[in-house]
């Protein structure tokens, strides 16, 4: 399981399970796309205070188990994750953009 986040005045363990389906339930998450998604999540971890405990995908949706600090709202976490991953996947895999 995940570790607690220790800050100056608090200790937290907040996990978010986020499920993101592809548009129209298209089967776009291939092995290559999933590998790119893993790399993109590492980039997000380095830039924001979001730690991905697990990232997995089926053919038409993605599951994120993410840990974050209480300063960031759940909606802000989802917005960051969905927007950055979508932009980067469309950039690295233009065939996904054509399917959607």
Q: pLDDT, tens digit, for every residue of 68-86? A: 888 889 999 999 999 999 9
- Backbone φ and ψ of 58, nearest 5°: -105, -175
34: burial class by Cβ within 10 Å (0-12, 13-18, 19+)?
Answer: middle
Percent of the chain with pLDDT over 90: 60
| Token pair for 98 | 């054509």
Superfamily (CATH) of domain 5-99: Transposase IS200-like (3.30.70.1290)
- Residue 7's pLDDT is what? 80
**Domain residue spans of the chain:** 5-99
- Residues ≥6 apart with Cβ < 8 Å to 81: 18, 20, 44, 50, 64, 66
Angle of CA points 71, 76, 81, to nearest 5°: 120
Round the average pLDDT of the chain to a whole number and report it: 90
Where does the pLDDT of residue 2 fall: very low under 50, low under 70, confident under 90, or very high at 90 and above?
Answer: low
């Amino acid at each position: 399981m995940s570790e607690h986040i220790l800050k100056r005045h608090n200790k937290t363990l907040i996990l978010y399970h986020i499920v993101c389906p592809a548009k129209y339930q298209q089967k776009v998450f291939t092995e290559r796309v999933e590998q790119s998604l893993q790399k993109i999540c590492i980039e997000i971890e380095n830039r924001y205070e979001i730690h991905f405990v697990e990232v997995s995908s089926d053919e038409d949706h993605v599951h994120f188990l993410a840990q974050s600090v209480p300063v960031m709202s759940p909606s802000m976490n989802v917005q960051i994750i969905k927007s950055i991953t979508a932009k980067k996947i469309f950039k690295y895999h233009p065939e996904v953009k054509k399917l959607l």
